[in-house]
Amino acid sequence: MEASHVMRIYLDHNATTPVAPEAMSAVAEALRTTFGNAASVHVPGQQAKAVLEEARASVAALIGAEPAEVVFTSGGTEADNFAVRGVAEACEASGRRHLVASAIEHEAVLNTVKALGRRGWAVTLVAPDGSGVVSTGALAAVLRDDTALVSVMHANNETGVVQPIADLAALAHRAGAIFHTDAVQSVGKIPVDVGALGADLLSLSGHKFHGPKGVGALWIRKGTKLVPTMTGGRQERGRRAGTENVPGLVGLGVAARLAREKLPVEQARLAALRDRLERGVLAAVPGSAVNGAGAERVPNTTNLSFEGVEAESLLIALDLEGIAVSTGSACSSGTLEPSHVLRAMGLTPHRVQSALRFSLGAGTTEPEIARVLEVLPRLVARLRSLSGAVARAGERG
């Protein structure tokens, strides 16, 4: 049970973010007033269609796209499934039956390519280097004449490491493959411009940038061959069937507008706070290290390992102090599965097991970071002395 006096510090924004008040009001307003089915020809239907298109324009503006290229989905997972399965099916007849993904993708991509692998597709996973970057050399080594799709995420959810998407996409295109990037963890945190990235498909998700859960989009470059995975009605220009979640998507549109307006200031503010946190931890906690430190990263994320400490124990100790962090991706937390991302980077098993992710967001403040820096060194020292005591007791038998 939560003690009411505990100051709650939420540093798990890569798992999900609190909904921005403006987005919340817009969702409530849409629920109240815009109940029509966006596919209906009458006035209530057209009202719903109008707010939906406004949301689409706002999402498109955030990523430098044309509104017509934005297909709304039920979130990042569906967008990833649509991209991977949609391309696979579209390319099946052409004989291109090879799929490439990075080994550090989110499960939404990884488990989808693996599922296709079990159905006869050739699948290659590309490992990153030690700092978490998927290099063009590593991708070049695995591309084949029959590669249909290359999927490499823009920013990694566990380390925040940003991938060289423009270079990777150009390489994939030279091999005749379609390029998808899961930008769920970069959209709203750093400038994302589909033209500059050069990808063909890009996934995003509302709840990672202060929008509601269960809404997202797949951006599909005009002309990209893709078979719809969700079949049924003609919604979303025949690319994604199902009555649109109008209120949720209105919330996504508002979150996208806010992200676009605030990004330049927020990016610098969060980078300063994150850097302060990192510097403070490295200075005050001996045996701590930043994972992915050598690479370009989104400004809100740091992944830190603490020698001699089990990450789960530290996570619980921090939670008791009112500080919410994560051991990595939310999907695998609770399973004690070591992070596939940190393992793919070649980190030692101990460094993987002692890693915690701190991810900042719009509500994160300077005093919160100061509080973490006050609490964390003490908790790490306590856990180390406890495990030392356990080890000594073990030696005594």
Contacts from 237-243 at CB under 8 Å and sequence distance 24+?
237/68, 237/71, 239/71, 240/71, 240/72, 240/73, 240/82, 243/37, 243/38, 243/39
Which of 207/297 has CB closer to ligand PLP? 207
Q: Where are the beta strands (DSSP E) in 168-290?
A: 178-182, 201-205, 216-220, 288-290
Of the two residues 36 and 75, which places its CB atom closer to ligand PLP in the complex? 75
Binding status of residue 157 toward ligand PLP by CB under 6 A:
yes
88 near ligand PLP, judged by CB under 6 A: no
At position 44, the amino acid (one-letter code) is: P
- For the bound state, the minimum distance from the C-beta of residue 179 to ligand PLP, rounded and expressed in Å, comes to 16
Q: Pick the closer one to ligand PLP by CB: 208 or 269.
A: 208
Instruction: Kindly state whether residue 244 participates in binding ligand PLP, applying the rule CB under 6 A.
Output: no
β partners of residue 326: 357
Q: Which stretch binds ligand PLP (CB under 6 A): 70-78, 227-235, 319-327, 378-386?
A: 70-78
Site string for ligand PLP, 330-369 (x = CB under 6 A): x---------------------------------------
Burial class (CB in 10 A: 0-12, 13-18, 19+), 258: buried
Give me the catalytic one of 331, 373, 375, 381.
331
Rank residues 277 and 341 by Cβ distance to ligand PLP and give the closer one.
341
Query: In the bound complex, what is the minimum distance in angstroms from residue 362's beta carbon to ligand PLP?
Result: 17
Query: How far apart (Å, rounded) are the C-alpha atoms in residues 76 and 254?
Result: 18
Q: Rule CB under 6 A: choose which of 13, 49, 85, 106 binds ligand PLP.
A: 106
Query: Using CB under 6 A, which of 181, 185, 300, 305 touches ligand PLP?
Result: 185
- Across-strand partners of 288? 306
User: How far is Cα 223 from Cα 68, in angstroms, rounded to an integer?
Assistant: 12
Binding of ligand PLP at residue 158 (CB under 6 A)? Answer: no
**Rounded Cα–Cα distance for residues 378 and 133 (Å):** 33
Residue 57 or 330 with smaller CB distance to ligand PLP: 330
**Among 90, 184, 290, 325, interactor with ligand PLP by CB under 6 A:** 184
For residue 208, the 8-state DSSP code is G
Residues 6+ apart with CB under 8 A from 94: 148
How far is C-alpha 139 from the geometric centre of its chain's CA atoms?
21
297 scored as a contact of ligand PLP (CB under 6 A): no
In the residue annotation, 91 being an active-site residue is answered as: no
Residue 122 makes CB contacts below 8 A (sequence gap 6+) with 97, 98, 99, 144, 146
The number of residues that bind ligand PLP (CB under 6 A) is 16
Name which of 149 and 380 has its Cβ closer to ligand PLP. 149
Applying CB under 6 A, does 132 fall inside the site for ligand PLP? no
Handedness of CA 48, 50, 56, 61 (dihedral sign): negative
Cα separation of 198 and 266, whole Å? 25
Q: Which stretch binds ligand PLP (CB under 6 A): 181-189, 240-248, 285-293, 344-352?
A: 181-189
Instruction: Report the alpha-carbon distance of residue 224 to residue 42 in Å, rounded.
Output: 33
On whether the CB atoms of residues 31 and 20 are closer than 8 A, the answer is: no
Site string for ligand PLP, 29-68 (x = CB under 6 A): ----------------------------------------
Interacting residue ranges for ligand PLP, rule: CB under 6 A: 75-77, 80, 106, 108, 153, 157, 182, 184-185, 205, 207, 216, 329-330
Q: Which residues are known to be catalytic?
A: 331
